Structures are given as structure tokens and as C-alpha cells.
Amino acid sequence: MLVYAIYYFGEEEKIHFVGFLPEKRKNPERITQESIFNYTRTILGYEANDDKIYYSQITLDERIGEIIWPKPAFRTQKTV
């Protein structure tokens, strides 16, 4: 099952975990960033800034109840 882990970057650069949003829509064309942001605004209030909302897609293996986290992406600094 596809699940979104949602975070909000608050004041003073603190990161707050908002929650998990399971994806229930079967049609992938209906899955949009705006629909995920709308869910987040429902929890945090409509004054929540879109620029501070971050989410990542994770997979939940329902057979064993385990979350399969994506591998982290790292930025490498280019040395001159």
C-alpha cells in the first residue's frame, strides 16, 4: 500500500511530523500534490504555508506490517 509520510517545517526551522496518509485512490491521475496539501491543511489549519509542507512516498507491506522506507537521497558537494 502506498502511504505518504507528511512533515511540516515550522518556525525556528523545526521539523514536525504531521502523520501518515494512506493512498486509497486507484486512479493515479487523481493523485496530486494539491490533494496531499489539502489533507495537511485540514490537520494544521488553512493558514499552513505550502512552502513548508514536505512529504515522501513510502510503502507499507500489509502482509507483515512493515514500512519500506525509500533510500535517502544525498546531495554531494562538487569540489573544484
- Going through the chain in order, the beta strands assigned E by DSSP cover 2-9, 15-22, 53-61, 66-68
Query: Beta 2-9 vs 15-22: how paired, if at all?
Result: antiparallel
Is there a contact between 60 and 1 (Cβ–Cβ < 8 Å)? Answer: yes
Which own/partner contact pairs does 74-78 have at CB distance under 8 Å and 24+ positions apart? none
Query: What pLDDT is recorded for position 52?
Result: 87
Q: What is the pLDDT of residues 2-42, one digit of tens each?
A: 888 889 888 777 888 888 888 888 887 777 888 888 888 88
Where residue 75 falls among pLDDT bands split at 50, 70, 90? low
Burial of 79 (0-12, 13-18, 19+ CB in 10 A): exposed
- Matching residue, cell 509542507: 53
Sketch the domain layout of the chain as residue ranges: 2-60
pTM of the model: 0.70
